[in-house]
Structure 1
Amino acid sequence: MSNLQQFQSFAKQNKKKVITKNEAVIYTRVSGSQQEDNTSLDSQKIQCTQYATRLNLDIKEYFGGTYESAKTDDRKQFQKMISYVKKKRIAFIIVYSIDRFSRAGASAITIVEELKKIGINVLSVTQPVDVETSTGMFFQNLNLLFSKYDNDQRRDKTIMGMRQRLLNGYWMGKAPLGYKNARDENNAPVIVFDENAKFIKKIFLWKLNESLSNKQILDRLDLYGIKLYKQKLTNILRNPVYCGLLVHNLLDGEIIKGKHKGIVTKDTFLKVNNISTGTGYKQHKANESLPLKGGFVKCAKCEKPLTGYIVKKKNIHYYKCGTIGCGCNKNANKMNQLFLNILEKYQLDKKLVAPLKLQLNYTFQYFNKSNKDNTATLKYNLSTIKEKLEKIQERYALGEIDTVIYNKFSKKFSEEMDKIENEINKTSFEKSNLDSYIDKSINLISNLHNMWNLSDYTQKQQLQNLLFPNGILYDKENDTCRTLKTNSILELTNSLSVILNQKKNGQKNTNVNLSTLVAGTGLEPVTFGL
C-alpha cells in the first residue's frame, strides 16, 4: 500500500483568504445634520466598542462620526474606511446596525462580498450573524435589502409630501435670489421679498424696457455691487417663481400658482422671455398707406392680424384677414381714419394741461422713491472705489508697487468710477429736467392726431405701438375699432377729461381712481412710460 504522504505535492490549497489578526475598525454615522448633535453617534461608538471587547478584537481606527446619507456608497468617510481596511488588512468592520453600513441594497451586498473575498467581514452589533456560514450571509444580505426597501419607502413618502406641498403653492428648499425663507401666520414655511428683490425687478424691467443684453445687465448690476454669473442671470429671467408661479420636476409639467408674491407681473415675465429668447417683432416691408399692418390691427372675430394688399387697377390699398371664411376686409384709408378717430378721443383738452402736470409730478415722485436708495447705494460703492484708488496711488508713491501694477489697477478703478457716476446721473433728475420731460409728453398728448398723421411709416408704427401696446381690434359687423390695452398716461388724461365733463354737467363720479392710472417706471421719469 502506497504512503499517502508521497502524494502531498499534488494536494490543492484552500484559496480562500483568511486574515488571522484580530483587528477591527468601527464605523458610525447618522443620516442627517439634524441628528449630528444628539447622542446617536456617541451611543453607536460605545455599543460597537463594547461589542469588540466581548469578541477580543483590537480596535485600530474609528471612521464616520458624522452625517452621511447611505442611499449610495459614494461617502467620503465610508470610502476612506474601505480603503483603510484593504490596505491594512483589517479583519473586521463593526457597525451598530447593518443600515449604518449601507442602505444601497444590491450594491452594498456586492461590496460585502468583495470584502469577504479578501478576508474582511462586516459585523453588526444589533444583528449578529455567523458570517462564516451561508445562512449567516443570507440573513446579512437580507438585512441589507430590507435597509434599501426601508429607504425607498421613506423616499416615496418624502416625495409624496414634497409634491403635495408644491401643489398647495409652497416653494420647496432654499429661497431663490430676491426672496428669503420665512414663516406665515400659520407657521408654515414661505418665501418673502428680501433686500435683493428690487434688483430682480430691475433686471426684468431693464430687459423689457431697454432691451439690454445679459452682459449689459450684468455690468449694470456690478455697479450696484451685485455679482452674478451669466447662467444665473438666464435662470432668473426664465424662472416663473418671480411672477408668483411654481414649476418643479415633481409636478410633471404642471404649473402651480404660488402662495408667495411675484416680484414682477406675469405679463412682464412673458414679454421679457420673448425678448430674451430672440422672438421679437417681425420686420414688415414699409408701405406708407398701410401703417396699421404688422400685427397692430387684428380681426375681432378670429383675432388674427390683418395684412395689407393693393388692388392695382384701382390703386387702392386694403387691410384683410387671412382666415378662410372670415371675410374681414377694409379699405386702408377708411381703416386709418378709424384709428385717427381713436386718437381724437384721447386728444388732451387744453384745460387739463395744468392739473395733468401736477399729477405727473406727483406720480414721478411716488414711483421713484426707490431711486433715492439706489443713488445712495451707488454713491457708497463710488466712495469705496475712490478709497481703493487713493490707496493704490499712495502705495505707488511710496514705491511699494511697480508701474505695471499701478497702471493696471488705477485704470480698472477709474473705469468703474466712470460707470457708477454715469449710472448716478441716470438715476438723478433735476426738477428742470423733469419739467422738460413732462412738457414734451404733454405736447405729444395734445397733438396725437396731427403727430401720427404727419409721421412717416416707421414713426407711425412706433407711436401707435407706444400708445396701444397690444394693438386694436376691428369689428367688421359694426365697422368699429376698439383698443385692447391703453398706455397708462392716456388712461389718466381720459379719466381727467371724464371728471371735468361730469363737473360741467353737475354729475358726480366716485369710481375714478387716479392712483391706479399711472405709468410704470424704471430709472427714467414716468413720462418715459408714455
Structure 2
Amino acid sequence: MRGRKVGDYALIQEKQSITINLEGEILKKAWKWKLAGERDFVIREKLAKMNLDITKQSLGAMWRNPFYCGISVNALLEEPVKGNWIGLVSEEDFLKVDRMLSESKVPVKEYSKSKINEFRPLTGFLRCECGSLLTSYVVRKKNAHYYKCQKCRNASFNALTTPYSKTEGLNDSFEKLLSKYTLSSQFIEPFKLQLNKLFDIMQSEGREELNGLVSKKKDLENKIENLDKRYFENPNFGDEKYNRYSHQFDMELKEIELQITSNSKKISNHGRHIDKVIEKVTNINKYWKEGGIDSKIRIQNLVFPEGLSIRAGNREYLTGRVNSIFGLVQTFTGIDRGNEKQKTHQKFDGSFSVAGTGLEPVTFGL
C-alpha cells in the first residue's frame, strides 16, 4: 500500500494506492478457478499446493467482497465507489461469481446503499428475516429514527426508545443482546485459563507450520545453488532454461518468505494480549453503548462477523456465527442468563478448534 500515512517513507505518495503482491497474484488464480466452477474445497487444496493457506470462511468472504474487483465499500458511504487500485478480478467476473452464489441466503452485504448515522448504527448490518438488509430513515418533524425492510410489509422498527414509543428501540435491544456475550467478573480467571490454552495451541501449530516453511526455504535455496552450479559448469545448459528456472525459484522463494513473515507474527507472545482481551469481553456492551459510530460498527462486525437478522413479528434476534472469543464466553455463562438449568461451569479438556478462529490480537483494537 502506498499513500500519505504509510510507515515506510519509500512508499509515501500523494494519493493512496494498493498494488498486487505475490499473494494477490495467487488469489487471481482462485477467482479464475471459481469462475470455472471449481468448488471451494478444491480451490483451497490448489492454493495450499502454492503455499497459500486460506480458511474456508476467509475464502467464502472473499467471493462476496467487492474490494477484490476494485470497489470501495464502507458502511459510512452512501453507496459503493470505484477505488484507486486494480482489482484481482473484473467487476463483470465478480458479479458472475455473485450470481453463482445467488442461491445463498446472504446477499452481498457490501453493496448496501443505506445511509447511516450515529442514531442508526445497525444500518447495513442488521437484516430482516427475509435476508434483506434493513435500511433506515428519520422523521425530522418528530426527530424519530427508524429501521425498515424494503421488501417486507410491517417490518419497520423504531431505533430509539422514547416515552412515546410502543416498543423498545432496536439500539437498546441490541445492547442487551451484547450483554449476553459479556463475561461476568466471576468467570475472569477460568476464562483466562482457557484463553491461555487456546493461544498455546495456536502457537504450537504456528511453530509447526513455521518449521515446515523454513525447511521448504532451505530446500529451495539448495535448488537455486544447484541451478547456478549447473549453469556455470555446463556450457550447454542454456540461458533460456536457466532464466526460466531461476525466475520460478525466485518467485517461490519470495512467496515462502512472505509466509514465514506472516507466520512469525501469528506465533508472537499472545500472553501479553490476554488482559486486553479480558477488558474487551467484560465490557463489550459498554464499549458499544458509549462508543462513536465507527466503534459501534467495528464491535458489531467483531461479535457477529456474518451479520445478524431479526424477526419482525416478535423482534427476536436470529444469531448466526459468533466470533470464537465470544463463543468461548458463552461456554462459561450460557447465552440464556435466565435459564437456571444452564450450568455456569464447564468441563474443558483443552481441545479447541483453532482453524479460522480469527483470534489475532489486532481484532480487539477497538
Residue by residue, what CA displacement relative to the aligned partner does 1:131-180 show, whole Å, maximum 9, x if unpaired?
xxxxxxxxxxxxxxxxxxxxxxxxxxxxxxxxxxxxxxxxxxxxxxxxxx
Aligned match for 2:126, one of 283, 297, 311: 297
Which residue is equivalent to 1:314? 142
Runs of 5+ consecutive residues of structure 1 not aligned to the other structure: 1-212, 221-227, 244-262
Deviation at 1:398, TM superposition (A): 7.6
Residue by residue, what CA displacement relative to the aligned partner does 1:452-472 show, whole Å, maximum 9, x if unpaired?
234443442232123123433
Aligned match for 1:521, one of 352, 355, 362: 355
Rounded Cα–Cα distance in structure 2 between residues aligned with 1:324 and 1:464: 24
Which residue is equivalent to 2:23? 216
Which residue is equivalent to 2:299? 463
Aligned residue pairs, count: 286
Contact 2:34–2:40 under 8 Å retained in 1: no
Which residue is equivalent to 1:426? 262
Aligned counterparts, 1:286-435, within 5 A: 286-294=116-124, 296-299=125-128, 304-323=132-151, 325-332=153-160, 334-366=169-201, 371-391=206-226, 416-428=252-264, 433-435=269-271
Is residue 487 from structure 1 mapped to residue 315 from structure 2 by the alignment?
A: no
Rounded Cα–Cα distance in structure 1 between residues aligned with 2:184 and 2:203: 27
Rounded Cα–Cα distance in structure 1 between residues aligned with 2:283 and 2:298: 16
Secondary structure (helix, strand or coil) at the match of 1:469 reads: coil
Distance change >3 Å, CA 387–CA 313, structure 1 → 2: same
Secondary structure (helix, strand or coil) at the match of 2:260 reads: helix
Residue by residue, what CA displacement relative to the aligned partner does 1:277-297 show, whole Å, maximum 9, x if unpaired?
454421433322211011x32
Distance change >3 Å, CA 508–CA 318, structure 1 → 2: closer
Is residue 238 from structure 1 mapped to residue 38 from structure 2 by the alignment?
A: yes
Deviation at 1:214, TM superposition (A): 11
Distance change >3 Å, CA 381–CA 293, structure 1 → 2: same
Contact 1:318–1:329 under 8 Å retained in 2: yes
Whichever residue aligns with residue 286 of structure 1, its letter is: I
Rounded Cα–Cα distance in structure 1 between residues aligned with 2:266 and 2:147: 46
Distance change >3 Å, CA 405–CA 390, structure 1 → 2: same
Contact 1:305–1:321 under 8 Å retained in 2: yes
Q: Which deviates more, 409-418 or 312-321?
A: 409-418
Distance change >3 Å, CA 373–CA 233, structure 1 → 2: farther
Whichever residue aligns with residue 127 of structure 2, its letter is: K
Rounded Cα–Cα distance in structure 1 between residues aligned with 2:24 and 2:316: 43
Rounded Cα–Cα distance in structure 1 between residues aligned with 2:59 and 2:249: 35
Distance change >3 Å, CA 270–CA 380, structure 1 → 2: closer
Contact 2:324–2:359 under 8 Å retained in 1: no
Deviation at 1:434, TM superposition (A): 1.8
Whichever residue aligns with residue 303 of structure 2, its letter is: L
Rounded Cα–Cα distance in structure 1 between residues aligned with 2:240 and 2:330: 63
TM-score, normalised via structure 1 length: 0.42
Rounded Cα–Cα distance in structure 1 between residues aligned with 2:157 and 2:141: 18
Aligned match for 2:279, one of 431, 435, 443: 443
Whichever residue aligns with residue 331 of structure 1, its letter is: A
Contact 2:210–2:260 under 8 Å retained in 1: yes
Distance change >3 Å, CA 323–CA 374, structure 1 → 2: same
Distance change >3 Å, CA 437–CA 408, structure 1 → 2: farther
TM-score, normalised via structure 2 length: 0.58
Percent same amino acid among aligned pairs? Answer: 26
Distance change >3 Å, CA 303–CA 406, structure 1 → 2: closer
Distance change >3 Å, CA 348–CA 414, structure 1 → 2: same
Distance change >3 Å, CA 365–CA 469, structure 1 → 2: same
Cα RMSD for the two superposed structures? 5.0
Distance change >3 Å, CA 352–CA 241, structure 1 → 2: closer
Aligned counterparts, 1:232-271, within 5 A: 233-234=33-34, 238-239=38-39
Secondary structure (helix, strand or coil) at the match of 1:310 reads: strand
Deviation at 1:264, TM superposition (A): 8.4
Deviation at 1:318, TM superposition (A): 1.3
Deviation at 1:349, TM superposition (A): 2.3
Question: Which structure has more strand as a fraction of its residues?
Answer: 1
Distance change >3 Å, CA 438–CA 241, structure 1 → 2: same
Which is greater in Rg?
1
Runs of 5+ consecutive residues of structure 2 not aligned to the other structure: 1-19, 44-53, 69-93, 99-107, 162-168
Which residue is equivalent to 2:332? 496
